[in-house]
Amino acid sequence: MPPVSIEINYWNFDISLRILLIFEILPILIHPSINIHKPPLMSDIFEKAEQTIAAIAAETPANAEALEAFRIRYLGTKGLVKSLMEEMRQVPNEQKRAYGQLMNTLKQQAEEKYQSLKADFEAQAESAAGQAFDLTAPGEPLPLGSRHPVAVTLNRIVDIFTRMGFSVADGPEIEDDWHNFTAMNTPEDHPARDMQDTFYVVDAPGMLLRTHTSPVQARVMEQRKPPIRIIAPGRVYRNETISTRSHCQFHQVEGLYIDEGVSFADLKQTLLYFAQEMFGATKIRLRPSFFPFTEPSAEMDIWLGTDTEKNYRLTKGTGWLEILGCGMVDPQVLENCGIDARKYSGFAFGMGIERQALRLYEIGDIRLLFENDVRFLRQFSSAM
């Protein structure tokens, strides 16, 4: 008959059965083939925890891989620290506090040693990486961007006028009705407002997106005393259908010169110099036109000729190409902005920057300027 193995959990019995088990049953059942499992002694559990603390102090991981093995052995989900924590169930209540303090010391020592060694290994790795970097090696080339054709054109215009003594002024893009229309001699019932329909702010009555940079001129005239010589570049908005030749947003540059004795001859000479510098034009012409804020008003054309098919097509066979609008500042505009029109006079002009860019770079569609297509913009890397 083979030996029989009987497992007896001593702690599953009450006190009377434990006594009976010890003094009556065990002497009978003692046999080499019978395994009797009694709970470990408390001294064994405490001794095992103390030995683990000593083992942690003696551990010396040599590299990051050994440190990871250390973490798994002691702090892992199946590590020694967690295993000893589970022994808490077998510790009598009067010894649980002491055992808990011992476990806290064990866990804290293991975590501190792991974090300390981890920081040391990371610092060594960073130092080694820094030493391995060759400072004399050639750097990798970085792709260079390019200026937007509108920015290139604007910079050219600003450069020309600043050489003539004009300063650059700026103003808000969200304007009030007074500075955008009324101060510019365009009251609410004026038909010229239909030419500059714009976008209005719903939650702020009387506020709108400016239709031109003329409000900057009005603000400057209100804040400064003549002589005034400024240009006002910036983004403007119109409620227009987007097409190859027009857009609901674009950029303008407007100019203003106010002083005593300013005449139409001064305006013509200023624009002639600009046309020569910007386009290489040999002559200009001023055609009568209408703007509510200037009187008299004119459109300026430059002479391109009809000697080439390109110029013939661009000028529609006339040889003349329209560039900008201009005129003498209406005396009412001066009075609206607090300037004595009997003492001072001035001229103003304005042009769209996109249209100048289209002509300079022979771009056939204004929408290309707003699509941010890198393939298109790379073509202007040499225009920086």
Q: Which of 99, 131, 163 is the last residue of a domain?
A: 131
Same domain, 331 and 187: yes
Token pair belonging to 247: 């857009």
Radius of gyration in angstroms for the set of CA atoms belonging to the chain, rounded to a whole number: 45
Same domain, 81 and 192: no
**Alpha carbon distance 301, 4 (integer Å):** 118
H/E element, 132: helix 93-132
The answer to whether residue 236 is domain-embedded is: yes
pLDDT confidence of 53, banded at 50, 70, 90?
confident
The per-residue pLDDT for 163 is 94
The model's pTM: 0.61
**Alpha carbon distance 311, 317 (integer Å):** 8
**Alpha carbon distance 70, 56 (integer Å):** 9
The per-residue pLDDT for 153 is 92
183 with 301: CB under 8 angstroms? no
With 90 as the cut, is the pLDDT of residue 255 above it? yes
More confident residue, 241 or 37: 241
With 90 as the cut, is the pLDDT of residue 243 above it? no
The answer to whether residue 142 is domain-embedded is: no
Percent of the chain past pLDDT 70, that is, above it, reads 85
Same domain, 315 and 374: yes
Torsions phi, psi of 230, nearest 5? -135, 160
Highest mean pLDDT among 30-39, 126-135, 138-147: 138-147
For residues 233-244, average pLDDT = 88
Among 342, 322, 330, residue whose Cα is nearest residue 296: 330
For residues 186-204, average pLDDT = 78
User: Per the structure, how many domains does the chain have?
Assistant: 2
Per-residue model confidence as pLDDT tens digits over 295-306? 999 999 999 888
The answer to whether residue 263 is domain-embedded is: yes
pLDDT confidence of 170, banded at 50, 70, 90?
very high
Neighbours of 337 (CB within 10 A): 20
In terms of Cβ atoms closer than 10 Å to its own Cβ (0-12, 13-18, 19+), residue 186 is buried
Q: Which domain holds residue 332?
A: 149-383
Same domain, 211 and 179: yes
Same domain, 346 and 272: yes
The answer to whether residue 22 is domain-embedded is: no
Across 118-127, 266-275, 334-343, least confident range: 118-127
The answer to whether residue 8 is domain-embedded is: no
With 50 as the cut, is the pLDDT of residue 339 above it? yes
The answer to whether residue 13 is domain-embedded is: no
For residues 69-97, average pLDDT = 81
With 90 as the cut, is the pLDDT of residue 161 above it? yes
H/E element, 291: strand 284-291
Same domain, 194 and 236: yes
Same domain, 126 and 275: no
The answer to whether residue 34 is domain-embedded is: no
With 70 as the cut, is the pLDDT of residue 10 above it? no
With 70 as the cut, is the pLDDT of residue 204 above it? yes
**Beta 345-352 vs 249-259: how paired, if at all?**
antiparallel
The per-residue pLDDT for 300 is 94
The per-residue pLDDT for 167 is 95
What does the mean pLDDT of the chain come to?
82
The answer to whether residue 137 is domain-embedded is: no
The per-residue pLDDT for 378 is 85
Q: What is the dihedral of CA 76, 77, 81, 87, to 10 degrees?
A: -170
Same domain, 108 and 227: no
Highest mean pLDDT among 10-14, 29-33, 35-39, 342-346: 342-346
The alpha helices in 181-248, defined as continuous H runs, are 214-223
pLDDT confidence of 2, banded at 50, 70, 90?
low
The per-residue pLDDT for 222 is 92
Across 135-149, 280-294, 364-378, least confident range: 135-149
With 60 as the cut, is the pLDDT of residue 29 above it? no
For residues 347-371, average pLDDT = 89
For residue 355, the domain's CATH number is 3.30.930.10
91 with 99: CB under 8 angstroms? yes
With 80 as the cut, is the pLDDT of residue 337 above it? yes
Same domain, 167 and 296: yes
The per-residue pLDDT for 284 is 92
pLDDT confidence of 332, banded at 50, 70, 90?
very high
Q: Which of 131, 165, 181 is the last residue of a domain?
A: 131
